Amino acid sequence: MNLKNIINLGTSRQSFSSANRTRTMNIIGLITVVISLLYSINYIFFLENHTVGFINLIFTVAYLFTIAFSATHHPKLAKIWFFSVLMVHLLICSNVYVTNASGFHLYFFLVPTGVFLLFELRERVEQVSLSLIALVLFFYCENTFNTEPLIVLTEQMNHMLYQSVVFVTMLEVIFVLYIFAKQIDKNEQQLILQATTDSLTRLANRHYFFEEGKVLFENAVDNKLPFTLMLLDLDFFKKINDQYGHLVGDKCLIEVTSTIKALCREHDLCARIGGEEFVVAMPNTSLADAQKVAERMRKHIEDCKISLSEAHQLTCTASFGLADKTQCATELKDLLIRADKALYVAKENGRNCVKPYCEQAA
């Protein structure tokens, strides 16, 4: 099992934010195991105190259970276990191994930061309880001097150890905050994607279309550039849903989406604005050019075969309405109304055709 798989242990079947917290807990758990192991090596080989080294190795193994609890889908227990072991470990370090002059108890500052970052918002009891315990233990260690430490250190060694604790604490705080900031960015991107994208087709949704389409339209007006709106609607879509079921209907929508994406340019804005209704905002495109694109799109949709079974296939068609920017159309919604009128004419004329908006026909 590689490092990435270990970090992702326990994240399956979790929500996006919960998975990120579990992943971060696994990372912190692994880092703590490494740091604790390095301290154990230092105690055994450099300070030549095998008793302290052995005790510290027990704590190193205890930290590994954090990963084990995550792997068995007990994320809350993993976090409680980790912070509990950490606080007991720090207490032993400050009041058994050495004295508080070593600064080990400064690691207690990591506990409130960690619990509020890693526990879910609904887990307030655990966040507050663990933070208060860390606060009490910090002041206990700060004001209690161990007169018989297992390791007797010189003043210079205590000072060096104190500085190492401060250094590691700052590094861990920076690392955790970096991970957390990265998660916030991911969560924000995920929320933006969910808020602006249609979940089935992965096209822009109605809200995003009107928001972004307004900008594109106003830019075309300000720069006196052509701008055309294409509105398309699947023919007899309700009949497809009623006869074959909504899963087949969804297949039709996905196939139409593929056609739209394939034939539109990168800077065109494609969106699903209704059940079976799609719209394409085409900046810097004349009505004649948009009509050619719509014809190709109509033909592709008509030729598309949707498999129902090995022996049966379904075809669907779409009707198109087009409207371009004119002096009369001062807002995007004006253009959409005109395209909708053109679409109505297309449906009245037998469907499966492309109709541009005509002032006389309106």
Q: Give the residue numbers annotated as catalytic, written as ranges.
A: 276
Convert 134-146 to b/e letters by CB count within 10 Å (16 or more is b). Answer: beebbeebeeeeb
Cα-based distances in Å from 170 to 35, 111, 333: 14, 13, 55
User: Under a CB-based contact definition with an 8 Å cutoff, are residues 355 and 346 in contact?
Assistant: yes
User: Under a CB-based contact definition with an 8 Å cutoff, are residues 60 and 40 in contact?
Assistant: yes
User: Under a CB-based contact definition with an 8 Å cutoff, are residues 255 and 318 in contact?
Assistant: no
Cα-based distances in Å from 174 to 12, 39, 76, 169, 235: 27, 21, 24, 9, 57
**Run of H or E residues at 280:** strand 277-283
**For residue 83, which of 153, 125, 28 has the smallest C-alpha distance?**
28
**For residue 153, which of 104, 90, 101 has the smallest C-alpha distance?**
101
CA distance 310 to 323: 41
CA distance 289 to 213: 19
